[in-house]
A and B are shown apart, each in its own frame.
Chain A
């Protein structure tokens, strides 16, 4: 069976799987961005316990495998009384993991804003929170968008692991089809192409567009 014939026959299941992958991606991305921001800011906080908290979080989530984190959240937390359904466990693990990497990007982005910007904001008497929100973060965001593009691709690829806790994403559907038809080359070939298309024709162009949009807002374009 050709790849084309395979897709013509199994597209409904592939589509449903892709939909689930996209949903996991979006939820994990939102969670990841929120965590990145929180941990990136905490890591720069004046208070030591706050910094220690952020450093611990980042170390744990960067220093261990995403798959193990996923299994912890889905299989181990219930033993302590926290039961989480597989859909939630999926994007939670991926988002928390990506957040640890994003935190470093946020921190780096903030530190890349010239000192003169802090000083000018202080000279017009802005509070520390106003300085961060109105002056520093917008500029930090522009500086860190290019690496965020890479991180978003990593995130997309990372979502494939949620199939291992039976979230019915693209990878899960592909494996199911493969199991019942043994059309491995076609099944995994189709999955490969779909992941690639999602990454290169959706995530990357969107990030590029965002970079251009922000550059325009900075008056650079």
Chain B
């Protein structure tokens, strides 16, 4: 058992980060995917995660969404522990299902393959969480959902099932579905990777709009360097389960300090 005495029950002080990974380690069997990860994301910040395949980018988001458990360390969201909860004796203990359910409400996620519910229309996809989980009335949930479908430009297709929508349209509905839960933190895992090139723009434009008009905290894994450079407050370059280098996009893309970052960026540029 890990000694938890080094981890506070709650983060205190001014400017508490919205998301805080503290010495988080994740392994699958003998394969260590993330090693002692320390990463803070401030409220309202847009942080992009880039890096080679297999470097652990998706895993970071999945741990935060509680789709994966962690092996050691603690993740805090909005100052409160997510992966743990205060136990007897004033130390953190692993979170119960109930604690996870409570804390997960702060986080929303969009997936590479959209994962819309195929048996529901676009509108029903968005209303499902608000009605079933938040306990909103149908009318309230519908208003909220329609507003968000409007935001992502999908109100005209609200009564269509996902099978009738293009990839870009499905992804925009998926963004609306996640936003309908009013999360504080939004996670995007390569949300444009499964899209045809000509529709990538309609999804990135929605994310741009979120960045400029909403005070969401966002973590985005992407292979689109230009997009990451445009909209991020900070870019983290992951290599082999660690943050090799991070900084403002102008610095990281303009004058990368580490050799691996330079290699990765030039390899990506050649590919384009």
Interface residues of A, Cβ cutoff 8 Å to B: 114, 116-117, 119-127, 130, 134-135, 138-139, 142, 217-220
Point out residues on B near A: beta carbons under 8 Å.
65-67, 101, 104-105, 107-109, 111, 113, 115-119, 121, 128-129, 132-133, 160-164, 174, 177-178, 181
Contacts of B105 in A (CB 8 A): 125
List residues of chain B with CB within 8 A of the CB of A127: 101
| Chain B min CB distance to A213 (Å) | 12
Checking A116, A124, A126, A139 against B119 with a beta-carbon cut-off of 8 angstroms, the contacting residue is A139
B118 touches A124 (CB 8 A): no
CB distance from B204 to the nearest CB of A (A): 21
Q: Which residues of A contact B111 (CB under 8 A)?
A: 116, 119-120, 123
**Given A123-B108, A124-B129; 20 other pairs, CB 8 A cutoff:** A116-B113, A117-B117, A119-B65, A119-B115, A120-B115, A122-B65, A123-B111, A123-B178, A124-B108, A124-B128, A124-B133, A125-B101, A127-B101, A130-B133, A134-B128, A135-B117, A139-B118, A217-B119, A218-B118, A219-B161
Q: Which residue of B lies closest to A127 (CB)?
A: B101
Label chain A's interface by main secondary structure.
helix
- State whether A219 and B104 are in contact (beta carbons under 8 Å apart), knowing that A119-B67, A124-B177, A126-B132 are contacts in the complex: no
- List the 3 shortest-distance A-B pairs measured between CB atoms, nearest first: A219-B161, A124-B129, A120-B115
Indicate which residue in A121, A134, A219 contacts B118 across the interface (CB closer than 8 Å).
A219
**How far apart sit A145 and B115, CA to CA, in the bound complex (Å)?**
22
In this complex, which of B109, B115, B164, B181 has the most chain A Cβ atoms within 10 angstroms of its Cβ?
B115
